[in-house]
Amino acid sequence: MGRNRSPSLIADRAASLAKWLFLLFFLIITLFPLIWLVISSFKTNLEFQTKPFSIPELWQFANYINAVSISGLHLLFLHTIVVSFASTALNILAASMAAFVISREPFRGHETVFNIVVAGILVPVIALMVPYFRLISGLGLYDTLFGLIITYAAVSIPVSVFLIHGFMRSIPRELEEAAVIDGCSLAQRFTRVIFPLSRLGLVTAGTFVFLFSWNEFIYALLLTSSVKARTLQLGIRFFKSQFITDYTSMYAAIVLSIIPTIFVYILFHDKIIKGMTSGAVKG
């Protein structure tokens, strides 16, 4: 029997080794750009341009000082935090109410309304630049953080409604019926029953909106003009001019800017994964 088991054991181990090698390969492919970015952020520009894959001869911590001092990164960090959290909150509030009505309140044409809202996912950002510019300027919100907040919240509504709708639709109708018997109004059914039970979907959608708001560049450039309303992504571009780019200081700014998003992902990654997979099963 031992002779029979050995080949199977070897085959299992070989399969396991192949699996780990396969995973290791993709881990390297995934992490390599990040590691390269961090290492490059400690080089001089000449070193970066001439030896892009080497270890820095002398680690240039001054790049990080440049990153903070030249672009005023600390203020832009604050703006980005405010914009990202506020737009996420506003988006989740609006999208959850929309998803609640579409998924829980049967009315004629609710599927059509859902499809129209979700079709917004397919509209490229660039197609909305002129209307958003006119709208925000017309409202007197040009060059304000609030202008960015409502734009980000609005742009992300299609994807949020799509994600939250799937969760809300899967909640058993009996729970709502019991709440109605206990005297809950429409608003109370939303705030006390459906909203809390959809938290997985809300967190998933919220994480997407947060990451979008944190990384967004085009609208931030379009709708702001001064430092008082600028975000981090614009600060990173301070190291790039028409013909010359200070790559290493720019990379230092990028490294600093991605730290919070990594933290957000670490904090919520289990909910994001759960949210994505359970949403997929429930359709």
Partner 1 sequence: MKYPMRTTGRALCFAAGLVLVSLFSGCDRQDAGEDEIVLKWPTIWVGKDSKAPMVEKLVAEFNEEHAGSIKVEIEPNPDYDGYRNKLNTAIASGQVPDIFVFNPDPTTFQYYEGDLLMDFSEDLKGSWGDTFVSGTIDAATKNEMVKSIPYEQAITPIWYNQALFDKAGIGSFPKTFDEFWAACDKLKAAGIVPTSQMTGGTNAWTSMLWYSHIVAGLGGPDVWKKPFSDPVFEKAAAILLHMYQDGNTTKDAVGGDAAVSGGHYLAGDTAIFINGPWYIGRVKSDAPEVYAHTKVTAAPQTPGGSSGAQIGFLLSNLAAAKTDDPTRRAAVISFMKWMTAPENIKRISMDSGSLFCVKFQVGDEAVDPLQKQFMEAAANATFITSHFQGNVTTDVAAEFGQALGKMVLGEAAPKEFVDQIIEATE
C-beta of 82 vs 211, nearer to partner 1: 82
Region of 109 please: left (phi>0), alpha (psi -120 to 50) or beta: left
Burial class (CB within 10 angstroms; exposed 0-12, middle 13-18, buried 19+) of 44:
middle
Nearest of 261, 250, 281 to residue 70 by alpha carbon: 250
Helix (H, G, I), strand (E, B) or coil at 152: helix
Least distance (Å) between residue 162 CB and partner 1: 28
C-beta of 71 vs 103, nearer to partner 1: 71
Least distance (Å) between residue 211 CB and partner 1: 21
Helix (H, G, I), strand (E, B) or coil at 190: helix
C-beta of 53 vs 107, nearer to partner 1: 53
Rg (CA), the chain: 24
* Binding-site ranges for partner 1 (CB under 8 A): 44-46, 48-50, 70-71, 82, 86, 129-130, 133-134, 137, 140-141, 143-147, 149, 217-218, 221-222, 224-229, 234, 237-247
Distance (Å, rounded) from C-alpha 273 to C-alpha 83?
25
C-beta of 82 vs 264, nearer to partner 1: 82
Least distance (Å) between residue 163 CB and partner 1: 25
C-beta of 110 vs 192, nearer to partner 1: 192
C-beta of 104 vs 230, nearer to partner 1: 230
C-beta of 126 vs 281, nearer to partner 1: 126
Least distance (Å) between residue 77 CB and partner 1: 16
C-beta of 146 vs 265, nearer to partner 1: 146
Least distance (Å) between residue 140 CB and partner 1: 6
Q: Write the CB contacts of 174 (distance below 8 Å, at least 6 apart in sequence).
A: none
Least distance (Å) between residue 106 CB and partner 1: 32
| Residue 41 · residue 64 · CB < 8 Å | yes
| Residue 114 · residue 160 · CB < 8 Å | no
Least distance (Å) between residue 51 CB and partner 1: 8
CB atoms within 10 A of CB 98: 19
Q: Write the CB contacts of 68 (distance below 8 Å, at least 6 apart in sequence).
A: 74, 256
Least distance (Å) between residue 250 CB and partner 1: 9
Helix (H, G, I), strand (E, B) or coil at 240: strand
Nearest of 32, 96, 77, 67 to residue 261 by alpha carbon: 77
